[in-house]
Amino acid sequence: MTDFTPLLSFLGGTMIGLATVALMAVHGRIAGINGIASRFLTTQFNGDWAWRAAFLGGMVLSPLAMLALTGRLPEITVPSSPLLLAVGGFLTGIGTTYGSGCTSGHGVCGLSRLSARSLVATLTFMTTAFATVFFTRHVFGG
Amino acid sequence: MKLLAAFAFGLLFGCGILISGMGNPAKVLNFFDLAGTWDPSLAFVMGGALLVTAIGYRLVFRMGRPLLAEAFSLPTRTDLDLKLIGGSAVFGIGWGLSGFCPGGLIPVLGLGFEPLLTAAAITAGILTARWTISLSGRIHTAKA
């Protein structure tokens, strides 16, 4: 069980939204995390690589900001086995590359721009994610 | 200035992920578990992010151009192809198996072994997909 946290989740969501809007206002860029991370994985270290590195650096260091704000590091629980993480991660990398985006790129930026591609992508990955958890928890496992 | 701003926005994005619970795979997987221990919190994350972005983007696009760049870089494709749908379907399966999406993963990279393992696997997936896409591109070019 995890606690239902509507207020904190909504607050966190608005912060994600603010950062997304700010990156567009200042850099003119879509805050699609998979796209930013994927284009960070290159051998051409130009100005575009530099802002991506800075953005990703801020993300990686965000637990320290939380430590400063709340006095403790965030805690996470990982229910999946290392094998499932490896398989799931590999499929995530394949899928977001072929599908040109992830939850942030399609689900937040794309839907906000009323992109039909992003709507189709978001409905598709949400559906298969719900189906996958149903199968792993209620058909094969649990 | 540009880099400092990008760092600050990454920090804000990451804190949003951490506060919202999106970086916690247990919470993400419970959101997808309608038939079991359902935790609807993540609908509020999407709701908050979409509300701010949908309104904010409208205001920003009225500026004409970004503050520190020549122009807005926006996707231009509008076609619905098999790559988009198949790729998204595969991503959803991966997300449902691990509980980590890329945006949820990066802020928790420093918090343990499991996020690092998942990041390595995602990187392997990205590189594999790039390779197969360039391979099929070469085959198409050869045919043409």
Q: Is the ipTM of this complex over 0.90?
A: yes
Among A27, A86, A110, beta carbon nearest to B2: A27
Residue with structure tokens 């990451």? B14
Contacts of B22 (CB under 8 A, 6+ apart): A9, A12, A16, B16, B28, B42, B45, B101, B103, B104
Q: How many Å apart are CA A69 and CA B23, to the nearest integer?
A: 17
pLDDT band, residue B136 (cuts 50/70/90): confident
Q: What is the pLDDT of residue B144?
A: 56
Q: What is the pLDDT of residue B137?
A: 79
* Average pLDDT, 10 consecutive residues per value, chain A (142 residues): 93 98 97 95 91 98 96 95 98 97 94 96 98 94 62
pTM, to two decimals: 0.95
Which sign, positive or negative, has the C-alpha torsion A7, A128, A87, A1? Answer: positive
Q: How many Å apart are CA B24 and CA A86, to the nearest integer?
A: 17
Q: How many Å apart are CA A99 and CA B22, to the nearest integer?
A: 21
Mean pLDDT, to the nearest integer, of B108-134? 97
- Please determine, for residue B34, whether its predicted confidence score (pLDDT) is greater than 80: yes
Provide the total of helices (H) and of strands (E) in chain B, helices listed first: 6, 0
Contact state of A19 with B9 under an 8 Å Cβ cutoff: yes
- Please determine, for residue B140, whether its predicted confidence score (pLDDT) is greater than 80: no
Would you kindly state where each structural domain of chain A is located, as residue ranges? 78-142
Q: How far apart are the first and last CA of chain A?
A: 14
Most A-contacting residue of B3, B17, B19, B130 (CB-CB within 10 A), to test interface = B19
Q: Which of residues 64-123 of B touch A (CB under 8 A)?
A: 65-75, 77-80, 83-104, 106-112, 114-115, 117-123
- Please determine, for residue B21, whether its predicted confidence score (pLDDT) is greater than 90: yes
Q: Which of residues 7-36 of B touch A (CB under 8 A)?
A: 7-27, 29-30, 32-36
Q: How many Å apart are CA B107 and CA B17, to the nearest integer?
A: 7
Q: What is the pLDDT of residue A140?
A: 84
Q: What is the pLDDT of residue A47?
A: 86
Q: How many Cβ atoms sit within 10 Å of the Cβ of residue B59?
A: 10
Q: Which of residues 26-55 of A touch B (CB under 8 A)?
A: 26-31, 33-34, 37-38, 41, 47, 50-52, 54-55
